[in-house]
Amino acid sequence: MPVKGRNQSAQALSVHGRLFLIDCGEGTQYRMVEHHIPMMKLDSLFLSHIHGDHVFGIFGLLSTLGMKGRQTPLNIFAPPAFGPILKFFLSYYGDGVGFEIRFTPLKMKEPEVILETKSLQVEAFPLNHGIETFGFRIAEKEPPFNVHKEAIEQYGLSLTEIGTLKRGEDVLRADGSRIPLSEAAYKPFVPRSYAYCSDTAPFPEEAVWLKGTDVIYHETTYLQEFADQGAQRHHSTTLQAAQLALDAGARKLLIGHYSSRSARTEEYEAECRSLFPESYATSDGDSYEI
């Protein structure tokens, strides 16, 4: 239900020069303008399910991209039920869309890679929400080694030797000497990962599938006192989300998708922190670095 100052589901994720949009609730394009998120750079759109609070912004966004003259194809990953919605949109408003929409229906029963680049991969996996619903996990791949600049001068490294170090190998020279990888090269970062889980009730496989994820966003529609309603409507409570983060070994839990009956997000955060201290109640416009 509409709540003042609290908009519908939509998240922008910037990773390695790519801009991903996860869900597209009502008014998403206005929020993108408000927060200076360049919608023309949008690479892919991931829709968890077709409930209105997660998709009612899609018509406006696609229309605006067309009006702005987008030419680059747009990837949309969504449940098969989104297909007729997209077909309806294109049949009435498609004349204004001058770019290709590449729709990939999600049909997996366990985690599957749906998008992969040299530096990252995106997995989709089924959630427990009464209708076909999917979560998403975005993870960086292990980066190649970087070579210390001073090592290049110190050892007089050739291009071939630099390539050897970047592959993670020691350099063995013709004279029998060895240049250890540990002295000449380093990993620029430890791969990071992010997962989006909304909407869903708890289920046993979730923590297994998200094991080791750095940051998890998980819906907490209900405070714990309304756990019975959560079970009836296939949603999660604060403590259920916190337990998931604990079981998955996450570093941080972001929560959202609050019930319209609750105005104070501090209560949600406090309940989660009673079980998982690194829990943070999100608000519109918040930005997090992973």
Give the residues across from 197 on adjacent strands.
Answer: 218
Q: Looking at residue 5, what is its pLDDT?
A: 87
Coil vs helix vs strand at 23: coil
Give the residues across from 102 on adjacent strands.
Answer: 75
Domain 1-107 has CATH 3.60.15.10: yes
Segment 126-182, tens digit of pLDDT: 999 999 999 999 999 999 999 999 999 999 999 999 999 999 999 999 999 999 999
* CATH label, 110-142+189-290, candidates 1.10.20.10, 3.40.50.150, 3.60.15.10, 3.40.718.10: 3.60.15.10
pLDDT above 90: residue 263: no
pLDDT band at 254 (very low <50, low <70, confident <90, very high): very high
Which residue of the set 53, 170, 228, 247 is catalytic? 53
Q: Looking at residue 141, what is its pLDDT?
A: 96
Same CATH fold assignment for domains 1-107 and 110-142+189-290? yes
**pTM flag (> 0.95):** no
Q: Is 286 a catalytic residue?
A: no
Q: Per-residue pLDDT averaged across 184-188, rounded?
A: 94
Q: Per-residue pLDDT averaged across 32-52, rounded?
A: 97
In whole numbers, what is the pLDDT of the chain averaged over residues? 96
Domain residue spans in the chain?
A: 1-107, 110-142+189-290, 146-186
pLDDT band at 221 (very low <50, low <70, confident <90, very high): very high
Both tokens of 213, joined, read 């994820």
Q: What are the residues whose beta carbons fall under 8 Å from the beta carbon of 277, sequence distance 6 or more? A: none
Q: Tell me if the bond preceding 199 is cis, omega within 30° of 0.
A: yes
Q: Per-residue pLDDT averaged across 42-65, rounded?
A: 98
pLDDT above 90: residue 1: no
pLDDT band at 3 (very low <50, low <70, confident <90, very high): confident
Segment 193-206, tens digit of pLDDT: 999 999 999 999 99
Both tokens of 196, joined, read 């989006």
Q: Looking at residue 202, what is its pLDDT?
A: 97
Q: What are the residues whose beta carbons fall under 8 Å from the beta carbon of 126, sequence distance 6 or more? A: 108, 109, 110, 132, 133, 134, 135
Q: Length of the chain in residues, anyone?
A: 290
Segment 70-89, tens digit of pLDDT: 999 999 999 999 999 999 99
Both tokens of 226, joined, read 């309304």
How far is the C-alpha of 185 from the C-alpha of 156, rounded, in Å? 14
Both tokens of 205, joined, read 């496989």
